[in-house]
Amino acid sequence: MYDRIKGFRDVYPDEMAARRRTIDTIEETARQYGFREIETPALERAAMWTDKSGDDIVDELYSFEDQGGRHVTLTPELTPTVARMVVAKQQELSKPIKWFSTRPFWRYEQVQQGRQREFYQTNVDIFGSSEPEADAEILAWAADAMTGLGLDAADFDFRISHRDILGGVLETYDADIDTEAAIRAVDKSDKIPRAEYHDLLVGAGLTAEQAEEFDDLIAAGDLEAVEEFASTERVTDAVENLRNVLEAAEDFGVREYCTISLETARGLDYYTGIVFECFDSAGEVSRSIFGGGRYDDLIEQFGGQPTPAVGVAPGHATLSLLLQRADVWPEEAVQTDYYVLQVGDTRSEAARITRALRDRGHVVETDIAGRSFGAQLEYADSINAETTVIVGEQDLANDEVTIKEMESGDQVQAPVEEFPGDLKRPTAADFS
């Protein structure tokens, strides 16, 4: 009768079980790094995005006027919100500020595999440190989250660069270059034919010869060659910073996941330093899994004290494509420790056992629908119950219950007053 909206998903329990395990791993890793959870509004003033018009995001906003006449938008990303929150409590917060959160965002864009209009990200940010250790900690967290999910160095690759390398190289040309257009061209370079890429560079103000030279220099990714080509302070500082971040990443045990890739530019305008994107090393997931980088100017642009910042935001949709490709996506199935099956009028005893098992932390279901023995057993199967405790009138008359292991089919009687007794996770084996 009602259909769901295009680009919005209903996640049923089996799939959700896999998603939950993934999110738990990502968040647990963030907590271990000392990132602190925050909770943020779904709606913000649309001006937070429209004021910086020209940004691609604006066309994709779900924005509207609320009943109080405010021009609001469903947030398409978290960064402006956390910047606003840092500005609002800048004096009180001890730095570095390390925050994370997992939540949905919304963009009205073309729906395709791994891209919905409602999509989940875990945002992880550090404010208040300009040191390379902060950038490296973001990389280390992301790498640890990925390996925690079962991926290894052969599965993914952080392609890393520094925003000022491209900008700095471009400004050494004696020509009137639209730097942002050129960087956007680089950002697209691995998705478009080489000729088209060169045309875009020429459109940004380079000569054909310069475009070729620039492409060769950037594609090689040789930091020494870059320094030789453009020995300005901007470029040498950027190269030094990139080297320092990689050195810290080495100390943090995650250097092996990082590849220098000067083509990595990140489309978003607020990045200022280190930028990186995570790719599928096998190339099967063709687009970037996620990206991040340093955005040292945003807090000041939002009216705060100058505050360096660096962050990353794994999107769960592309991440799950990679996990599936690498064959480490968790099984999409609910799990149940016990089903307590009632035969006849045994509700009271079944309820006692059910509560006792739940008190031990287990996932336990019992009959709440007046079902037959067969229907209950079928249901226990459908929820992947490991152990079924059969509480029957006849068994109870003998002060017994039946413990049945669902996979092996092993089945024994246990004295009812000893079940579950002192056992933490009683099985048929404990009573055979």
Among 8, 256, 331, 421, binds its own copies (CB under 8 A): 8
Q: Quote the DSSP letter at residue 115.
A: B
The reply to whether 120 sits in an annotated binding site is no
In DSSP notation, 322-340 reads HHHHTT-PPP----EEEEE
Interface with its own copies (CB under 8 A), residue total: 93
Residues within window 139-198 making contact with its own copies, judged by CB under 8 A: 144
* Closest residue by Cα to residue 131 from 259, 241, 277: 241
Q: Quote the DSSP letter at residue 260.
A: E
Interface characters, 358-387, with its own copies (x: CB under 8 A) = x--xxxxx-xxxx-------xx--xx----
Among 55, 77, 90, 118, binds its own copies (CB under 8 A): 118
The reply to whether 67 sits in an annotated binding site is no
The reply to whether 349 sits in an annotated binding site is no
CB 309 within 8 A of CB 97: no
User: Dihedral of CA 134/136/139/142: which sign?
Assistant: negative
C-beta of 93 vs 412, nearer to its own copies? 93
C-beta of 136 vs 177, nearer to its own copies? 136
Q: Quote the DSSP letter at residue 5.
A: P
- Does residue 420 touch its own copies according to CB under 8 A? no
Q: What is the rounded distance in angstroms from the CA atom of residue 112 to the CA atom of residue 354?
A: 45
Residues within window 55-114 making contact with its own copies, judged by CB under 8 A: 62, 64-68, 70, 72, 74, 80-81, 84-85, 87-89, 93-96, 98-99, 104, 106, 108
The reply to whether 266 sits in an annotated binding site is yes
Structure tokens at 303: 């009216």
- Does residue 125 touch its own copies according to CB under 8 A? no
Q: What angle do CA 279, 282, 287 make, to 5 degrees?
A: 40
Report, in Å, the least distance between residue 138 CB and its own copies.
9
- Does residue 53 touch its own copies according to CB under 8 A? no
C-beta of 20 vs 194, nearer to its own copies? 20
User: 3-state class of 412 per DSSP?
Assistant: strand
Q: What is the rounded distance in angstroms from the CA atom of residue 29 to the CA atom of residue 142?
A: 9
Report, in Å, the least distance between residue 298 CB and its own copies.
11
Q: How far is CA 359 from CA 178, 356, 388, 423, 424, in A?
A: 65, 5, 17, 12, 10
C-beta of 59 vs 209, nearer to its own copies? 59
- Does residue 345 touch its own copies according to CB under 8 A? no
C-beta of 7 vs 205, nearer to its own copies? 7
Residues within window 316-335 making contact with its own copies, judged by CB under 8 A: 334
User: 3-state class of 137 per DSSP?
Assistant: helix
C-beta of 104 vs 150, nearer to its own copies? 104
